Amino acid sequence: MLGRLEAGIARERRFVADASHELRTPLALLRTELELAQRRPRSPEELRAALDSATEEVDRLTRLAEDLLVLARADEGRLQLRREEIQVKDLLETVAGRFNQNVEVGVQDGDSIVGDRLRLEQALGNLVDNARRHGAGTIRLEAERRDDRIELRVTDEGPGFPPELLPHAFDRFTRGDEARERGGTGLGLAIVAAVAKAHGGRAHAKGSTVTIELPG
């Protein structure tokens, strides 16, 4: 038990350190933009560009804070779910419709699950966004019933997760070099795993496919 407590404390410390690091970058960029805007008289175009950049960093901070709150609640077992019966086809089509990029949906009519629709839309949206940013080709949202479980899958035609990243894909703040260059926070897949766990399921990845398994 002492070992588990020490491991939990160590994970918490790493989480706090990683969160502090992630917050530091957008805050520093925001401060820089505001200082440059104040340094000398600026044209309307320059001020508008500075404000646009500052707004982007505020949006990033907002998303990061919201994601951290979701994960903190999940850690404490307080990720509340508003359970309802959900038609799986409607769920997948709703998520696909939020993206301009072509996202195909493959699912049979009639399947349903009981869960929190908004949380499941968030998790699937994270997966589609991840595939859109780092995958290639057509993105496909699928659902398949296997005995007493439903598998929700997001697949693209890219090479998939690098082998060295795959074992840690759902860890917090895990990002490949490309994701770091694009400003990703590394929390999207961690939230997918947290939402799946809160529903009594799990999330896993293989190649370019990420699957959320839920009780059916």
Residue 209 structural domain = 83-215
pLDDT at 46: 83
Number of domains in the chain: 2
Q: CATH code at 13?
A: 1.10.287.130
Residue 43 sits in the same domain as residue 138: no
Q: Are residues 119 and 180 in the same domain?
A: yes
- Same domain? For 69 and 149 the reply is no
Task: Provide the pLDDT for residue 180.
Answer: 42
CATH number of 122's domain = 3.30.565.10
- C-alpha 155/C-alpha 128 separation (Å) is 8
Low-confidence ranges of the chain (pLDDT < 50): 177-183
Q: Mark whether 46 and 103 lie in a shared domain.
A: no
CA angle 75, 131, 25 (to 5 degrees): 60
Give a three-class secondary structure readout of 144-174. EEECCEEEEEEECCCCCCCCCCHHHCCCCCC
Does one domain contain both 45 and 113?
no
Domain boundary among 30, 56, 75: 75
Same domain, 44 and 90: no
Please indicate, yes or no, whether residues 108 and 211 belong to a single structural domain of this protein.
yes
Of the three residues 45, 75, 105, the one that is the final residue of a domain is 75
Q: 34, 55, 75: which is the final residue of a domain?
A: 75
Tell me, yes or no, whether 162 and 201 share the same domain.
yes
Closest CA to 85 of 119, 108, 120, 115: 115
* DSSP 8-state symbol, 77: T
| CA 173 from centre of chain | 11
Let me know whether 141 and 87 are in one domain: yes
Rounded to whole angstroms, the Cα distance separating 131 from 18 reads 24
Residues 90 and 167 in one domain: yes
pLDDT of residue 199: 95
Q: Which amino acid is at 94?
A: T
Which pLDDT value is given to residue 102? 80
Do residues 96 and 199 both lie within one domain?
yes
Residues 59 and 87 in one domain: no
